[in-house]
Structure 1
Amino acid sequence: MTPDLPPPVTPGEQPPAAPSGLMARFRKYFLTGLVVAGPIAITFYLTWWFVTWVDGLVRPFVPIAYRPETYLPFGLPGSGLIVAVIALTLLGFLTANLIGRTLVDLGEKILGRIPAVRAIYRGLKQVFETLFSGHGSSFRRVGLVEFPSPGMWSIVLISQSPSPEVSRSLPGQEEHISVFLPCAPNPTTGFFFYVPKSKIIEVEMSTEDAATLIMSAGVVQPGSDPQKKVAALAGMANAARAANSARPLQPQPAKVE
């Protein structure tokens, strides 16, 4: 006897509705709770990982007499992070005066004489000065470019204009600008390229909203209500589950003995 198979879904026909009942409501509430608790749990995990990582780097440089666990029966997470923040602030204060500036210049001259280290240090210094300066505009503007083909638009983060050497090598007389195109769902990877300014449509959107839009693959739209965001994510999960359950089963061929 052959098992009763569900009728296949013909093109244009709506798939059967998701089953209703106690189990359906349980799955819906479970997915909604997962959507709410998942980002919170991952955020706490990443924060804890960062704090413990900084503690592991700083603790060897702190004398044992000044460590909290010397006087407490347990360790104090975050103590290394506090020491690092105070040390960096003190370093910035010392660098602001003449003596500190002289020492920093001397250290940079020493690093500049090492061929392999010189390029790495100068590149990283420029990146940090650009990202953490309060006056820079790199990656603070969001735009749209036609990518990967005409009619398809992608979100990019607008950076700086190319250097004179690169500008002279670019074809045409139009001014270009460098942009970074993040990939979904991991915005830390992507594509970097130069594009004419006339080909960029600047969008009134913060970089945080752009990153959220990319990581959610368009599910979480900027400015939407938080409850609607949760409902949209839960609805997407329910739709995927319903589509998988509506997929017709394929009969397995009989084994020939």
Structure 2
Amino acid sequence: MAEQPAESGKIAKSLKRYLITGVLVWLPIAVTIWVITYIVTAADQLINLLPAHWQPQHFLGFNIPGLGVIVAIVVLFVTGLFGANVLGKRIISAWDGILGRIPVVKSIYSSVKKVSESLLSDSSRSFKTPVLVPFPQPNIWTLAFVSGHIPDSVKASLPQGEEYVSVYVPTTPNPTGGYYIMVKKSDIRELSMSVDEALKYVISLGMVMPDEHVPEVLVDDAGKPLSEPNQH
């Protein structure tokens, strides 16, 4: 009789293992399909903003799923091609001037424009440098991204004698909600990991481990370390 419960326990463990394996196989596939479907559907909805006689289905006689993605890519490419020449730059500059005179709109437009330029600039370090910062307490460390330098108007109110860096601390599992904080540069540990690895680590609640990386200490202009790394 004792063998029967043991055998039943083995069967239950096997069933549980198979179910978990099935979930691990299908969950990434399902989420990927859902995200792609959402993007394609959202892009297709953009076509509906066109006048009815300009929409592709008006000429083709039927709807093609995903056509909005192709149209969006073509529009972005043509816009970039146009904006890269002298005439395009002048028109864009004039457009910026018009929007810059409209109350409320100018604040939103200029903010989004500056953020976009900062994120997409090859020379900018904004959100391209994963770091460790002490947050929310001195002896607790969390992963963050360098977001930029601090304006002089804010620096004037910070304690003198220390250089500060603005960083963004993402939350788990939604990295778009987080905290913008200013940290002493000497307290920041720069990580030799990519942004993708850092985001995966945050989104997965620390379960998706990046390759083993050793935190590096930020250095000053002379190449000297600003602080000593923690000894284990």
Tell me if TM exceeds 0.5: yes
Question: Equivalents in 2 of 1:62, 1:114: separation in Å?
Answer: 27
Aligned AA for 1:40?
I
Aligned AA for 2:207?
V
Q: What is the total number of aligned residue pairs between the two structures? A: 205
Q: Which has the higher contact order (CA 8 A, sep 6+)?
A: 1
Among 195, 198, 207, which residue is 1:210 paired with?
198
Question: Equivalents in 1 of 2:143, 2:117: separation in Å?
Answer: 25
Q: What is aligned with 1:21?
A: 10
Question: Equivalents in 1 of 2:201, 2:125: separation in Å?
Answer: 21
Query: Is residue 2:48 matched to residue 1:43?
Result: no
Among 58, 61, 69, which residue is 2:50 paired with?
61
Among 62, 81, 88, which residue is 2:69 paired with?
81
Q: What is aligned with 1:120?
A: 108
Aligned AA for 1:61?
L
Q: CA deviation at 1:130?
A: 0.7
Q: For the structure 1 residues 140 and 118, does the alpha-carbon distance in structure 2 shift closer, same or farther, using more than 3 Å as the test?
A: same
Q: CA deviation at 1:191?
A: 0.8
Aligned AA for 1:109?
G
TM-score, structure 2 normalization: 0.81
Q: What is aligned with 1:11?
A: none
Q: What is aligned with 2:217?
A: none
RMSD after superposition:
1.9
Question: Equivalents in 2 of 1:97, 1:39: separation in Å?
Answer: 43
Once the two structures are superposed, residues 126-150 of structure 1 have per-residue CA deviations (whole angstroms, 9 ceiling, x without a partner) of 0010111222111111111122223
Q: How does 1:96-135 map to 2 (within 5 A)?
A: 96-135=84-123
SS at 1:60's partner residue? Answer: coil
Q: For the structure 1 residues 60 and 161, does the alpha-carbon distance in structure 2 shift closer, same or farther, using more than 3 Å as the test?
A: closer
Question: Equivalents in 2 of 1:34, 1:69: separation in Å?
Answer: 43
Q: CA deviation at 1:178?
A: 0.6
Q: What is aligned with 2:210?
A: 222
Q: CA deviation at 1:202?
A: 0.9
Among 165, 175, 178, which residue is 1:177 paired with?
165
Q: What is aligned with 2:60?
A: 71
SS at 1:221's partner residue? Answer: coil
Question: Equivalents in 2 of 1:69, 1:77: separation in Å?
Answer: 14
Among 19, 44, 49, which residue is 1:30 paired with?
19
Whether contact under 8 Å (1:59, 1:80) holds in the other structure is no
Q: CA deviation at 1:34?
A: 0.7
Question: Equivalents in 1 of 2:87, 2:58: separation in Å?
Answer: 36
Question: Equivalents in 2 of 1:187, 1:136: separation in Å?
Answer: 20
TM-score, structure 1 normalization: 0.74
Q: Percent identity?
A: 36
Question: Equivalents in 2 of 1:149, 1:208: separation in Å?
Answer: 26
Question: Equivalents in 2 of 1:35, 1:62: separation in Å?
Answer: 45
Once the two structures are superposed, residues 14-63 of structure 1 have per-residue CA deviations (whole angstroms, 9 ceiling, x without a partner) of xxxxx832122111111122123212211111111111111111243266
Over 3 Å off, 4+ runs = 62-66, 68-72
